[in-house]
Amino acid sequence: MRCPYCGSDDTQVKDSRPSEDSNSIRRRRVCTTCGGRFTTFERVQLRELTVLKKSGRRVPFDRDKLMRSVEIALRKRPVEPERVERMINGVVRQLESSGESEVNSDQIGVLVMEGLKGLDDVAYVRFASVYRNFREAKDFSTVLSELASPEPVELDRK
For 68-96, the pLDDT digits (tens) are 999 999 999 999 988 998 999 899 889 98
For residue 125, the enclosing domain spans 50-148
Same domain, 38 and 80: no
* Residue among 102, 107, 23 at smallest CA distance from 57: 102
Split into its structural domains, the chain has a count of: 2
> Backbone phi, then psi, for 24, in 5-degree steps?
-145, 170
Helices (H) and strands (E) in the chain, counts: 5, 6
Task: Give residue 158's pLDDT.
Answer: 44
CB 17, CB 26: distance < 8 Å: yes
For 15-54, the pLDDT digits (tens) are 988 877 666 788 999 999 999 999 988 766 556 889 999 8
154 domain-assigned: no
Same domain, 60 and 134: yes
Same domain, 37 and 58: no
CB 110, CB 153: distance < 8 Å: yes
The residue-averaged pLDDT of 114-128 equals 90
Q: Is the pLDDT reported for residue 5 higher than 60?
A: yes
Residue at 100: amino acid letter: E
Same domain, 94 and 68: yes
Task: Give residue 91's pLDDT.
Answer: 92
Same domain, 31 and 83: no
For 144-157, the pLDDT digits (tens) are 887 777 655 554 44
Looking at 2-11, 34-43, 106-115, 144-153, which range is the least confident one?
144-153
Same domain, 85 and 110: yes
Entry pTM: 0.64
Task: Give residue 135's pLDDT.
Answer: 82
153 domain-assigned: no
